[in-house]
Amino acid sequence: MKTNLNRRSILAGALGAPFLAGLAPGAHAEEYSGLTDLDLTDDEMLHYFVKLRSSLDDRVTMGWVDAVNYAFIDGVTHPMYRLLSTTIRQMRKVNDSLYKSVSLEVAMYMDINTGELLDKLTMPVTGNVVDVPLYRAGPSHMDMTIRAEDTNEFTMQQETVDGESFFATGQVESQRFISLPQLRGDDFYIRQDISARVFPAGESRPSFFYREWTINQGSWAALSDPSAVSVPVDVAYIANTAFRPWMQMGDTPGHTVQNGRGGKAETPEGLPVELLRLVKLHHPDLIEDPRGVLAGEAA
């Protein structure tokens, strides 16, 4: 059964048959505001999303993000640092509706003006001067589906180097979904939403939260090519996150806001130059043996 996730397209008329003939089998289209809404099945959306963000086979890919992080306090945004991160990932297809993902993420926090790696940061409002850690989390295992809603034990603290500096413990309520496939010319767009809230035992308010939105863009011609298992992607990225423990913000109201862009590399050399340099310097095993790292076998 097909699922049309775009309600606005009800107001728009269908495109003509010549355009529809150019779409992938099983797809049709409706148009508004210069964009075309694709009516894809859940399995088709997952297929294209995995092609964009990772790969249909078990090769290791390296997603990356280049963003600016702000503290958002009482309606004021305070620039904090530039974020450079990469996530190495391997996918295994179980069936058309499910892929198994194993991933590991590293992130570096840079001075916005100089581009230098931060070891200290003066926090806004509090004025606290805090030590800035390197972030490394994983390997983490996840089911990749079109939508998921779960309540589980939150294990990121155990999966992260110096995990107490980044994460609380407790039960995590998480939601993930992929939606809104659209087309403009050869540009295909699809959205992913991720949210997580962590509740300590006996507490009704979350001690940690994370909310992420991405718009993922790639070539429709490449995605429609059955011989292609991985397709280049441009990612527009926004996230809201609770202050991390290492930021020492205490009861200060507010949270962080991140916005930036990203992509995917098939080899380390495809990463942004400065990110590649920092990964080689601080996490050389990700370059030397990424498969071993994901398997937990690297030295």
Residue 33 confidence (pLDDT)? 63
Q: Which residues have C-beta within 8 Å of that of residue 244, sequence separation ≥ 6? A: 165, 166, 167, 256
Write the DSSP assignment of 101-149 as a string of letters.
EEEEEEEEEE-TTT-PBPSEEEPTTT--EEE---EEEEEEEEEE-SEEE
- Eight-class DSSP state of 87: E
Residue 296 confidence (pLDDT)? 87
pLDDT tens, position by position, for the chain (299 residues)? Answer: 343 333 233 223 333 333 333 444 444 445 456 889 999 999 999 999 999 999 999 999 999 999 999 999 999 999 999 999 999 999 999 999 999 999 999 999 999 999 999 999 999 999 999 999 999 999 999 999 999 999 999 999 999 999 999 998 999 999 999 999 999 999 999 999 999 999 998 888 999 999 999 999 999 999 999 999 999 999 999 999 999 999 999 999 999 999 999 999 999 999 999 999 999 999 999 999 999 999 986 54
Residue 34 confidence (pLDDT)? 80
Alpha-carbon distance of 154 to 198, in angstroms, equals 7
Q: Which residues have C-beta within 8 Å of that of residue 171, sequence separation ≥ 6? A: 151, 152, 153, 154, 198, 199, 201
- Listed in order, strand segments (DSSP E) in the chain are 29-32, 35-38, 61-73, 76-95, 98-110, 120-122, 129-131, 135-144, 147-153, 171-184, 187-199, 208-219, 234-241, 255-265
Kindly report the backbone phi and psi dihedral angles of residue 159, in degrees, each rounded to the nearest multiple of 5, phi listed first: -90, 0
The domains of the chain are located at 40-295
Residue 171 confidence (pLDDT)? 95
Residue 269 confidence (pLDDT)? 96
Closest C-alpha among 203, 108, 106 to residue 154: 203
User: Can you tell me whether residue 270 is helix, strand or coil?
Assistant: helix
Q: Tell me the CA distances in angstroms from 214 to 3, 98, 111, 121, 170, one per residue in order.
A: 20, 20, 24, 28, 26
pTM of the model: 0.87
| 268: alpha, beta or left? (left if phi > 0; alpha if psi -120 to 50) | alpha
